[in-house]
Amino acid sequence: MASLITCPHCGTRPKEEFSIRGAAAPKRPSATVKDEEWHRYVYVRDNPRGRYQEYWHHVAGCRRFLVVDRDNLTHEVFGVTDASDFERARTAG
């Protein structure tokens, strides 16, 4: 059975329609921080095992960015949120 992702805009689709774009947890630093902070943000990342939130791009569908909450060992998907809704919720709380 193929891995499936349920896009909030297009419905359930095969994972091959998507491209993983990276961790959703790090917050982008302000433009005024020192170069060392930007270096850490761009190049130094944790690579945890287990449940993880990632940005995914629905390249063969609606072309929206999504946040997929999944286990990167078992590939079980717990939920999918539009990235703009994810960011709004993160900045509100």
pLDDT in tens, 65-91: 999 999 989 989 999 999 999 999 988
Type of residue found at 80: V
pLDDT in tens, 5-61: 999 999 999 999 999 998 998 888 999 999 999 999 889 988 889 999 999 999 999
What DSSP assignment string belongs to 27-67?
PPPPTTS-HHHHHHHHH------SEEEEEEE-TTTT--EEE
